[in-house]
Structure 1
Amino acid sequence: MPHVVVVGAGFAGLSASSELAKEGFRVTLVDRHPYNTFQPLLYQVATGGLNAGDVTYSLRYFAARHHGVRFRRGSVTGIDHAEQRVVCDDGVTIGYDYLVLATGITTNHFGIPGAAEFTMSMYTRAEALRVRDTIFGSMEIIAGKSHPNTGGFTVLIAGGGATGVEMAGQLAELKQEALPKTYPELNPAQVHVVLVEMAPFVLAPFDDSLRKYALEELIKRGVDVKLNTAISEVHADKVDFKDGSSMPVDLVIWAAGVSGNPILREWGIPIGRGGRIEVNSDLRVMGEERIFAAGDASLTVDNPLPQLAQPAIQGGHFVARQIARLHRGVPTEKFEYHNKGTMATIGRGDAVLQTPFGLKLKGVLAWLGWIGLHIVYILGGRNRVQTLLSLTSRYLLPRRSNAIVGDVMETPKLRAGSRG
Structure 2
Amino acid sequence: MSTEPPVPAGAQPARPLRVVIIGAGFGGLEAARALSDAPVELTILDRQNHHLFQPLLYQVATAALSPGDIAWPVRSVFRRQENVTVLMAEVTGIDTAARHVQADGVSFPYDALVLATGATHSYFGRDEWAAFAPGIKTIEDATEIRRRLLTAFERAEMALDEAERQRLLTFVVVGGGPTGVELAGAMAELARQALKREFRRADPRRARILLVEAGPRLLASFPEELSAYAERSLARMGVEIRTGVRVTTCDADGVVLGGEERIAASTTVWAAGVVASPAGAWIGAERDRAGRVTAGTDLSVAGNPDIFVVGDLVFAKDGTGRPIPGNAPAAKQMGRYVGRVIAARAKGQPAPPPFEYRHHGDLATIGRRSAVVALDGFRLKGRLGWWFWGIAHVYYLISFRSRVVVSFEWFWSYITFQRGARLITRRPPPGAPVPPVHRPDPPGEPKDMVPKGTPPGPRPVEMAGPGG
TM-score normalised to structure 1 length: 0.93
* Structure-2 separation of matches of 1:215 and 1:5: 44
Aligned to 1:318: 337
Deviation for aligned residue 1:263: 5.5
Query: 2:156 matched to 1:142?
Result: yes
How far is 1:151 from its partner? 1.6
Q: Say which SS state the counterpart of residue 65 (structure 1) adopts.
A: coil
1:46 to 35, 43, 61: 61
Partner of 2:367: 347
Q: Equivalent residue of 1:325, what SS? A: helix
Per-residue deviation, 1:14: 0.2
After superposition, residues 167-186 of structure 1 pair within 5 angstroms as 167-186=183-202
CA RMSD of aligned residues (A): 2.1
3-state SS of paired residue (2:197): helix
Alignment gaps of 5+ in structure 2: 1-15, 437-459, 461-468
Q: Which amino acid in structure 2 is aligned with residue 142 of structure 1?
A: A
CA contact (8 A) 1:134 1:410 kept: no
SS in structure 1 opposite 2:82? coil
User: Cα gap change, 1:45/1:408 in structure 2, threshold over 3 Å: closer, same or farther?
Assistant: same
- The answer to whether the 8 A contact 1:134-1:409 is kept is no
Residue in structure 2 matching 1:387, options 406, 413, 418: 406
Alignment correspondent of 1:37 = 52
Look at both structures and tell me which one has the larger radius of gyration over its CA atoms: 2
- Alpha-carbon distance between aligned partners in 1 of 2:23 and 2:400, rounded to the nearest angstrom: 22
Comparing 398-407 with 342-351, greater Cα deviation is found at 398-407
The separation in 1 between residues aligned to 2:315 and 2:406, in whole angstroms, is: 32
Identify which range, 138-147 or 232-241, moves more after superposition.
138-147
Cross-structure match for 2:87: 72
Specify which structure has the higher proportion of helix: 1
* Residue pairs, 1:44-123, within 5 angstroms: 44-88=59-103, 90-112=104-126, 114-123=128-137
Deviates most, 17-26 or 213-222: 17-26
Q: Deviations over 1:200-240 (max 9, x none)?
A: 11011111100000000000100000000111121210312
Q: Deviations over 1:38-91 (max 9, x none)?
A: 000000001111010000011111221223111010111110112111000x20
Larger displacement relative to structure 2 (194-203 or 56-65): 56-65
Of 11, 21, 24, which aligns to 1:9?
24
Give the Cα–Cα distance (whole angstroms) in 2 for the partners of residues 113 and 26 of structure 1.
39
Residues 109 and 116 of structure 1 are in contact (CA less than 8 Å); yes or no, is this contact kept in structure 2?
yes
Deviation for aligned residue 1:416:
8.0
Match of 2:463 in 1: none
Percent identical residues:
34
Provide the aligned length of Structure 1 versus Structure 2.
414
- Name the CA distance, whole Å, in 1 between partners of 2:269 and 2:119: 17
Q: Using the TM superposition, name which of 142-151 and 68-77 deviates more.
A: 142-151
> Is there any run of 5+ residues in structure 1 with no aligned partner, and where?
none
Higher mean Cα deviation, 62-71 or 167-176? Answer: 62-71
| Separation (CA, whole Å) in 1 of partners of 2:239 and 2:76 | 41
Note the alpha carbon deviations across 1:348-381, whole angstroms, 9 max, x for none.
1110001122x00001111111111111111111
| Farther off after superposition, 58-67 or 78-87 | 58-67
In the aligned structure 1, how far is the partner of 2:259 from the partner of 2:297? 42
Kept in 1: contact 2:153–2:204 (CA 8 A): no
The alignment partner of 2:78 has SS state of: helix
Counterpart in 2 of 1:398?
A: 416
Contact 1:138–1:410 (CA under 8 A) maintained in structure 2: no
Deviation of 1:271 (Å): 2.2
Partner-residue secondary structure (3-state), 2:416: coil
